[in-house]
């Protein structure tokens, strides 16, 4: 019944998306020629609409590529919004390329821009409406997934807690089947329906859509029987790994001649093509940044020299990609120190080592500009986890879980942690958590987002001192 409902919902969404594309273009056409041009029509609606209708299969292909029509019970809404925006951007680009290729010159680009905005906003609005309706529907007890939880373990308890906190998921817990020999009548308030040996009979007599298997490592001997019984009954089965706390939410599966292997830390930038795209962008962006900021670079260099004796550029050893050390460049913002002095001291808000000009540079991030040369050399990237000194790396790797994972990608001038508030003397745990999220979820658009946020709120920061 659940799968049938999902099919009906998907068909409804396809129909609504088709309708929205046509309606959005008609409204865009009316705005362009009736509101903005006061009725001066240079192109009929029928002629103008033809390329958009021909482009409809492209929209649906892209919606499927970005997984718009899959079940959304637990899918974060921002992922769906991102997919809708990406689809409309790519479809608009393809439409423009098609018009140019086939020399369709009598077409309003202004209408296309208005259409892009309207269709994106309308599609997102409809998705919001569907989600709100489904949430209300499920809270009333309809369209539920009836779940059988197998295994009375910590993993099962965690699953049950999450379903209680998120009733809009629509998971109805029918009951629990503990591991063999567990003398319990209830688990987390849910009834125990029997033992693993009774599983086939329970599946045959109860209305169950999905079995959630959360057995422990000690009970793996029963797993084969559990999966066989579920598949025999045609029940969808999902397994919560008993080692789930050690792997990310989206582990990468590799295949070694038919042997599945779990890569516990999937790094998108291990892909050669993605790495090439990021490196190419780094080089291009750094060259443009150096050219545009060259007057500021020269001024900062002169001021550094005039306000404090010593070198203009400060080179500090940092740990980067693959745990390799490199010299990171900065405009010198402190008085000249000995190696032993600078090795293990953390900068403080009223650090007496800073010069007046150096203090201003640090607050405005001007001292970081020479790092674009590090990017050109290949030591750093524009976006990535901030590199740290070897002394602190050796210290943190012993006390901060997963700290060393950050060295699987190039360090960056700016990063996800920095623009979300973890800059300067802030929580190392919070910083690493954000760094790992960036590493595991890297996309080119994610880099662009971080750069834009850095421009708007990252240069001047209360934690930059």
Choose between 161 and 74: higher pLDDT: 161
Cα-to-chain-centroid distance, residue 38: 44
pLDDT exceeds 90 at position 328: yes
Region 381-405 average pLDDT? 90
- Helix ranges restricted to H, 55-153: 56-65, 77-101, 109-139
Average pLDDT of the chain to the nearest whole number: 83
| Residue 7 pLDDT class (50, 70, 90 cuts) | low
Integer CA distances (angstroms), 48 to 44, 88, 338, 359, in order: 6, 18, 72, 59
**450-464 pLDDT tens trace:** 998 888 765 555 555
pLDDT at 69: 75
| Residue 411 pLDDT class (50, 70, 90 cuts) | very high
pLDDT exceeds 60 at position 5: no
Lowest mean pLDDT among 195-204, 337-346, 379-388: 337-346
Region 249-266 average pLDDT? 74
Kindly give, in sequence order, each residue whose CB lies less than 8 Å from that of residue 215, ignoring residues fewer than 6 positions away: 150, 151, 153, 179, 222, 223, 226, 242
Please tell me the distance from the alpha carbon of residue 265 to that of residue 275, in angstroms, as a whole number: 16
Residue written as token pair 């989600």 = 131
Q: Is the dihedral of CA 353, 355, 356, 358 positive or negative?
A: negative
pLDDT at 1: 44
Please tell me the distance from the alpha carbon of residue 458 to that of residue 451, in angstroms, as a whole number: 9
Percent of the chain exceeding pLDDT 90 equals 26
pLDDT at 124: 92
Q: Is the dihedral of CA 24, 26, 27, 31 positive or negative?
A: positive
Domains of the chain: 2-139 (no CATH), 145-246 (3.40.50.720), 272-458 (no CATH)
Kindly give, in sequence order, each residue whose CB lies less than 8 Å from that of residue 184, ignoring residues fewer than 6 positions away: 152, 178, 192
Closest CA to 347 of 314, 380, 373: 314
Please tell me the distance from the alpha carbon of residue 26 to that of residue 49, in angstroms, as a whole number: 8
pTM of the model: 0.59
Please tell me the distance from the alpha carbon of residue 240 to that of residue 219, in angstroms, as a whole number: 13
Closest CA to 223 of 282, 284, 160, 150: 150
pLDDT at 2: 47
pLDDT exceeds 60 at position 258: yes
Percent of the chain exceeding pLDDT 70 equals 86
**330-347 pLDDT tens trace:** 998 887 766 655 555 555
pLDDT exceeds 80 at position 300: yes
Furthest C-alpha separation in the chain: 86
Region 85-97 average pLDDT? 87
Length of the chain: 465
Q: Residue 90: count other Cβ atoms within 10 Å of its Cβ.
A: 16
Region 69-93 average pLDDT? 79
pLDDT exceeds 60 at position 176: yes
pLDDT at 371: 95
pLDDT at 465: 45
Q: Which residues of 280-294 are buried (b: 16+ CB within 10 A; e: fewer)?
A: ebbeebbeebbeeee
Lowest mean pLDDT among 198-202, 221-225, 303-307: 221-225
Please tell me the distance from the alpha carbon of residue 38 to that of residue 317, in angstroms, as a whole number: 65
Choose between 275 and 355: higher pLDDT: 275
């Amino acid at each position: 019944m659940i799968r049938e409902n999902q099919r009906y919902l998907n068909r409804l969404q396809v129909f609504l998306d088709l309708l929205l594309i046509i309606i959005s273009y008609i409204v865009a056409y009316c705005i362009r020629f009736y509101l903005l041009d006061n009725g001066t029509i240079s192109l009929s609606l029928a002629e103008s609409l033809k390329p958009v209708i021909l482009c409809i299969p492209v929209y649906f292909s892209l919606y499927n590529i970005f997984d718009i029509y899959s079940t959304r019970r637990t899918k974060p809404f921002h992922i769906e919004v991102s997919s809708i925006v990406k689809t409309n951007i790519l479809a608009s680009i393809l439409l423009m390329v098609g018009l140019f290729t086939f020399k369709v010159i009598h077409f309003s680009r202004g209408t296309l821009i208005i259409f892009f905005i309207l269709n994106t906003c309308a599609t997102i609005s409809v998705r919001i409406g569907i989600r709100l309706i489904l949430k209300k529907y499920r809270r009333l007890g309809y369209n539920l997934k009836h779940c059988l939880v197998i295994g009375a373990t910590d993993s099962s308890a965690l699953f049950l807690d999450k379903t209680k906190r998120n009733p809009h998921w629509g998971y109805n817990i029918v009951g629990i089947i503990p591991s063999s020999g567990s003398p319990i009548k209830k688990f987390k308030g849910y009834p125990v329906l029997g033992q693993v040996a009774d599983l086939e009979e329970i599946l045959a007599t109860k209305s169950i859509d999905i079995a959630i298997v959360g057995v422990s490592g000690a009970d793996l001997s029963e797993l084969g029987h559990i999966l066989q019984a579920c598949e025999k009954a045609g029940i969808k089965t999902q397994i919560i790994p008993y080692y789930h706390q050690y792997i990310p939410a989206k582990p990468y599966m590799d295949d070694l001649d038919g042997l599945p292997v779990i890569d516990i830390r999937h790094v998108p930038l291990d892909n050669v093509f993605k790495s090439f795209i990021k490196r190419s962008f780094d080089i291009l962006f750094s060259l443009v940044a150096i050219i545009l900021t060259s007057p500021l670079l020269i001024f900062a260099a002169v001021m550094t020299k005039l306000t404090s004796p010593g070198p203009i550029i400060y080179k500090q050893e940092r740990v980067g990609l693959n745990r390799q050390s490199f010299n990171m460049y900065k405009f010198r913002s402190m008085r000249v120190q000995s190696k032993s002095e600078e090795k293990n001291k953390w900068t403080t808000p009223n650090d007496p080592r800073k010069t007046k000009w150096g203090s201003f540079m640090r607050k405005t991030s001007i001292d970081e500009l020479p790092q674009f040369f590090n990017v050109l050399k290949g030591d750093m990237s524009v976006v990535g986890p901030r590199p740290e000194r070897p002394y602190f790396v050796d210290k943190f790797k012993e006390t901060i879980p997963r700290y060393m994972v950050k060295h699987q990608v190039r360090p960056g001038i700016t990063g996800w942690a920095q623009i979300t508030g973890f800059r300067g003397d802030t929580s190392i745990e919070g910083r690493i958590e954000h760094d790992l999220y960036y590493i595991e979820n890297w996309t080119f658009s994610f880099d662009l987002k971080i750069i834009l946020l850095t421009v708007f709120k990252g240069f001047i920061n209360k934690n930059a001192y």
